[in-house]
Amino acid sequence: LAKTTQPISMDSYEGQEVNITCSHNNIATNDYITWYQQFPSQGPRFIIQGYKTKVTNEVASLFIPADRKSSTLSLPRVSLSDTAVYYCLVGDAWAGGFKTIFGAGTRLFVKA
């Protein structure tokens, strides 16, 4: 299973765009990249998943370069409520055995 490396913490201000980069040098051909968000006293919540290039949904964008050895989660115009821990995961999304390694995550703190 590919291991991921991401910054331990980041600070931002309301209204700014936040980019969190995740390194996954040993990503395998079948691996997908998934990001989760976790608020205090809650379980993680799925944000976005991608395989290559760019994926966008109503919450975030995910940028994946051609070599797929890293990925960047982009949160547009963050607000105070985006303060949370963000986890980058890499794993084979085969339905029968989706084993995941969450790692320590990136703690994002959004200031007013």
Partner 1 sequence: DVKVTQSSRYLVKRTGEKVFLECVQDMDHENMFWYRQDPGLGLRLIYFSYDVKMKEKGDIPEGYSVSREKKERFSLILESASTNQTSMYLCASSSTSGSYNEQFFGPGTRLTVL
The residues that touch partner 1, with contacts defined as CB under 8 A, are 32, 34, 36, 41-46, 49, 87, 93, 95-105
Please tell me the distance from the alpha carbon of residue 10 to that of residue 34, in angstroms, as a whole number. Answer: 19
Token output for 95: 């339905």
| Distance (Å) of CA 8 to CA 46, 52, 87 | 19, 24, 10
Of 3 and 77, nearer to partner 1 (C-beta) is 3
Of 5 and 16, nearer to partner 1 (C-beta) is 5
Least distance in angstroms from the C-beta of 20 to partner 1: 15
Which residue do the tokens 């395998």 mark? Answer: 28
Of 41 and 81, nearer to partner 1 (C-beta) is 41
Of 67 and 97, nearer to partner 1 (C-beta) is 97
CA angle, 81 then 65 then 68, to 5°: 95
Please tell me the distance from the alpha carbon of residue 41 to that of residue 43, in angstroms, as a whole number. Answer: 7
